[in-house]
Structure 1
Amino acid sequence: MTPETLLSLLNATPGWAAQAAAADLDDTATLQILSEAAKVAGTTLAPMAARADETGCRVEQGRVRTPEGYGDAFRQMGADGWIASDLGSDLGGMDMPLALHAAASLPMEGAALPFMMLLGSTRAAAHCLAATAPDLAAEWCPKLASGEWAATICISEPDAGSDVGRIRTKAMPAGDGWTVSGTKCWISFGDHDMAERIGHLCLARTGAPEDGTRGLSLFLVADTLDDGTRNGIFVERIEEKLGLHGSPTCVLRFETAEASLIGTPGRGLPALFNMIELMRLQVGVQGAGVAATCATLARDYADDRRQGGRPDAAPVAIASHPDVRRQLWQMEARALIATALVVETAVTLGDAHAGNTEAAALSAFLLPLAKTFGGELGQANADAAIQVLGGAGYTREWPAERHFRDVRITTVYEGTTGMQAQDVLFRRLLKDGPAIRAALLARLDGGSVFPTLLARLDTLVERLSGATPAAQALAADAALRAAWEVVAAGLAERLRAALGQEDALDLWLFGAAARMGVAEASVDWALAVSDR
């Protein structure tokens, strides 16, 4: 996806113009930022990602060693302002609007998703500290933004993944501070050699086990103390994974590690949500970035690869074959709609952070959609790229198979699809349905498919509102997908009016009613079987 297309997509998003004006950004400046991001993705990140996938990460003498070039690239990204460009300038950022940060990140995520994960957690930690711990933020945020220091999020444990109420890592008062002891798993970049210091934002128990999530507090646990000595944090292993070979996924053991309390005891999860929110948006950007990268890869290959046609003439580009054209249109539609979704979510989140209550309700609805369907569309396009490239796509000579392996995780981490579905149905559609409906109509109503699907979603939600909790839980995934079809149709109609791309977007819109029908049938099934 070209920087010019990204700029047009931003300009087509309601609310962006006001945010750009507030940041003193005109189209020329915005395009310059997007163009530079694309340049970094193509010249620095993509080649490094290919090498990193081959070499992977390893543990040597208890420390993680990352692929060649990672440390230099991370520090350069910080020096150039890419890590936390949307952080306040008083804390080392550039005051860039969240939506522009997301748009600029798209080609980078598509080029080197594993590497970019450290930028995402470091940036999100900086925002969390800025929102909850001003004293710690003053010390840590400039270092995080510059790439001198890095950060992680430490939630999961061997017996407490999504069920965070069962966390057993314990925090104890110690003098003027705290110590943390326990084991955390699935920690992306839990240890590495890319920065001078690593800060772990760690959920630990300060209350009784029976207190559940209300007994959890948030701590900053640095891997080194102020005097430079090692804190009580040890790498037990890094996981062997399907993909993300360039991202070390660590199991960490905390042994009376010195820690600083963030916020209020017992309010760890609400404090951490400042970080989780941005990391879930990043997952959507990851998927959209891969979707766009794979669409470009497939289009370029299909334009160059020559096969078929009349036997008495030169072979033709496979892009001219009808079935290949269909696949390319599908990929282009997925890439455009996924990108529009994360930009829409980022613009709405930006308004919400500025105090707009309507935007806050809508962004809470859009965020799980961006997280889920950014990932699903990225997966679909990575799979489709392999198909368009044929046997070549299945080989390591081309990056399609690497994208396929890397992007698969996006619908698993930062909250599985099932968790996002429950959020959308129980907390959004059943609780705030009328407000969400009004906000969607205000932002997306401009075609014929969207309002038709919105009316069908209204009927579906009305049916579920009177169902048993068991039936609602069974139907949550279907409700998530029905809600997505409504939003996606509105985005597709907006893009068709603003950008053209009639072939690709018409293909998406022609299938929208049928996909909504599948969601409705799944609700029928849930209501039927829940009574058995």
Structure 2
Amino acid sequence: MILDILNATPGWAAQRDAAGLDEMAVAQIMEEATKLAEEVLKPVGDTADAQHCRVENGRVITPEGYKEAYQTLAENGWILADMDPDFGGMGLPIPLVLAANMPFEGAAQPFLMASGSSRAGSHLLAERAPELAAEWCPKVAEGAWTITICISEPDAGSDVGRIRTKATLNDDGSYAISGTKCWISFGDHDMAARIGHLCLARTGTLEEGTRGLSLFLVPNDEGIFVERIEEKLGLAGSPTCVLRFEGAKGTLIGEPGRGLSQLFTMIELMRLQVGGQGAGLAQECARLARSYAQDRKQGGSPKASPVPIIQHPDVQRQLLALDAQAAIATALMFEASVSVQAGKAGDADMTTYAAFLLPLAKTFCGEGASESASGAIQVLGGAGYTREWPAERYYRDARILTIYEGTTGMQGQDFLIRRVLNDERKGLKLFADRVRASEAGVALRVLERLEALTDQIDGQDMSKVMAAADGYLRAGWCAVSAYLAERLVAQGGDLAEAGRFWLATVEARMGVAEAQVAYGLS
């Protein structure tokens, strides 16, 4: 399914050819990735949920097998697979790396968060601080060092303008970083020798808000202490750290006061990663449910042996819903990642289109993963509610996806205000051109309703616009998902059935989104 959807994504074939790959090479890469997921990552995913992470003598101890699995990931080139070989990467296109990571995420989502932030951080260094990248990226690629994103504080989560962590200039040109940071995934661990924190800290006054923030690379060599790791609903295998910085030595990246804009490269890739996590989990939930339904025997004529529950029409309906969710999430992630890749190659329109898609990818692959985990539990019945099966773990792990890297409310406001209204609807127009060129019936009808909704919102009081943002985000998803579902239908086979299932209700869901907008504007 992954390769079928990838190959049908506009623009992918040209990117594959430009990387010197053909369909056979891509298939071989995916085969190796799937093998690694099954043989190496799935066992540590299972173990980690039982063992958790813990703090001993001020350091985080990860579950059994983590160190070895991380080194295996590095030895196979996956940590920086899409980076230039000069930085230790393999130069693979972003969509292919995303494709390979989907089975990884399904196998061990919490574990993959260490390599995910390390990859995003390495891209940021390569773009913003080449000298630091030359030192750090090869070490990250070989699994010796890792990188975190270090933004939130106890009193400054999404409201980054209230960050208080202070950066003071030292005589040698470095900075002393002091303050407390929280929600830091793999902020400390025992899988690698050194951890670099890409940390937002204040070089200006508190009254300057975000304009007083600068970005630093702060290694954990000294002056950084683990106060605790969070006890969470899920992600037991990912240590979420509270870190205290006491004069830790940091190197300024870029210009003082431009920290948030410097961090954008990393945030973009982290949000793309979250969407990939959701798609990977949705695929795994669909696979698990179908496998169980083929083996579990229940019902049928009392005069005969019980039949596999996959023969029951209602179970078939549930499995089709899971297949559709997985397929549509996968299609969205490839649409977004191909656009990101094209934008990095210099296509300004694709940069705009990617910015339009990313809030949708982050939000609805996350919501889709939660729905898929819940659906898998339903297919498994009572067994799904027990820890004998991983469905309940997927349910707990998936819940974070609509929270970290920007909550759904933030994504809605970003989508409506920044990506549509403030950007003169450029991304929406690019999307509309694609829909109209495809001559897709349902998608065109939903698009026209989205355009009418945009006209209705444009020019309204900002408080009403913000109240309507979540509904508009969902309306945008209805339009984009209908376009992607029409593409699935055109592919035939099981994907076509999944696409038709999705399209059967998308116009009704658009009505709900329109009602949410209307209420917000009232």
Query: Does TM, normalized by the shorter one, top 0.5?
Result: yes
Aligned AA (1:114)? P
Give the number of equivalent residue pairs: 518
5 Å-filtered alignment, 1:12-411, equals 12-176=8-172, 177-224=174-221, 231-411=222-402
C-alpha separation between the residues in 1 aligned to 2:501 and 2:11?
28
Q: Deviations over 1:270-311 (max 9, x none)?
A: 111111110000000000000000000001111111111111
Which moves more between the two structures, 101-110 or 309-318? 309-318
Match of 1:489 in 2: 482
SS of match in other structure, 1:76: helix
Q: Deviations over 1:228-250 (max 9, x none)?
A: xxx10000000000000000000
C-alpha separation between the residues in 2 aligned to 1:95 and 1:499?
32
Q: Is the 8 A contact 2:488 2:498 kept in 1?
A: no
Which moves more between the two structures, 186-195 or 308-317? 308-317
Q: Is the 8 A contact 1:446 1:493 kept in 2?
A: no
Match of 2:5 in 1: 9
Q: Is the 8 A contact 1:217 1:261 kept in 2?
A: yes
SS of match in other structure, 1:265: coil
Match of 2:418 in 1: 427
CA drift at 1:499: 4.3
C-alpha separation between the residues in 2 aligned to 1:288 and 1:362?
20
CA drift at 1:523: 1.2
CA drift at 1:442: 3.9
Alignment root-mean-square deviation, CA: 1.0
Q: 1:298 to 1:470 in 2, by over 3 A?
A: same
Match of 1:522 in 2: 516
SS of match in other structure, 1:25: coil
SS of match in other structure, 1:192: coil
C-alpha separation between the residues in 1 aligned to 2:181 and 2:135?
25
CA drift at 1:434: 4.0
C-alpha separation between the residues in 1 aligned to 2:459 and 2:177?
46
Q: Is the 8 A contact 2:359 2:411 kept in 1?
A: yes
C-alpha separation between the residues in 2 aligned to 1:106 and 1:85?
14
Q: Is the 8 A contact 2:285 2:391 kept in 1?
A: yes
Q: Deviations over 1:335-363 (max 9, x none)?
A: 00001111110000001111111101110
CA drift at 1:409: 0.2
SS of match in other structure, 1:14: coil
C-alpha separation between the residues in 1 aligned to 2:104 and 2:211?
38
C-alpha separation between the residues in 2 aligned to 1:328 and 1:446?
29
Q: Is the 8 A contact 2:356 2:428 kept in 1?
A: no
Q: Is the 8 A contact 1:206 1:265 kept in 2?
A: yes
C-alpha separation between the residues in 2 aligned to 1:237 and 1:86?
33
Q: Deviations over 1:114-153 (max 9, x none)?
A: 0000010000110000000011000001111111101101
CA drift at 1:375: 0.4
C-alpha separation between the residues in 1 aligned to 2:423 and 2:165?
35
Q: Is the 8 A contact 1:14 1:443 kept in 2?
A: no
Q: Deviations over 1:461-488 (max 9, x none)?
A: 1000132111111100000000001000
The answer for unaligned runs of 5 or more in structure 1 is 225-230
Q: Is the 8 A contact 1:108 1:289 kept in 2?
A: yes
C-alpha separation between the residues in 2 aligned to 1:487 and 1:44?
35
Aligned AA (2:8)? A
Q: Does 1:461 align with 2:454?
A: yes
Match of 2:500 in 1: 506
SS of match in other structure, 1:432: coil
CA drift at 1:441: 3.5
CA drift at 1:520: 0.5
C-alpha separation between the residues in 2 aligned to 1:372 and 1:146?
32
Aligned AA (2:52)? G
C-alpha separation between the residues in 2 aligned to 1:437 and 1:112?
35
Aligned AA (2:514)? E
CA drift at 1:316: 1.3
C-alpha separation between the residues in 2 aligned to 1:499 and 1:475?
37
C-alpha separation between the residues in 2 aligned to 1:44 and 1:499?
34
Percent identity between the two aligned chains: 59
Match of 1:228 in 2: none
Aligned AA (2:269)? L
Q: 466, 476, 491: which is aligned to 2:469?
A: 476
CA drift at 1:72: 1.1
The answer for unaligned runs of 5 or more in structure 2 is none
C-alpha separation between the residues in 2 aligned to 1:425 and 1:439?
15
Q: Deviations over 1:185-209 (max 9, x none)?
A: 0000000000010000000000011
Q: Is the 8 A contact 1:446 1:494 kept in 2?
A: no
Q: Deviations over 1:367-401 (max 9, x none)?
A: 11110011011110000000000000000000000
C-alpha separation between the residues in 2 aligned to 1:432 and 1:250?
37
C-alpha separation between the residues in 1 aligned to 2:424 and 2:286?
35
Q: Is the 8 A contact 2:327 2:498 kept in 1?
A: no
Q: Is the 8 A contact 2:355 2:427 kept in 1?
A: no
Q: Is the 8 A contact 1:474 1:526 kept in 2?
A: yes
C-alpha separation between the residues in 1 aligned to 2:186 and 2:389?
26
Q: Does 1:440 align with 2:434?
A: no
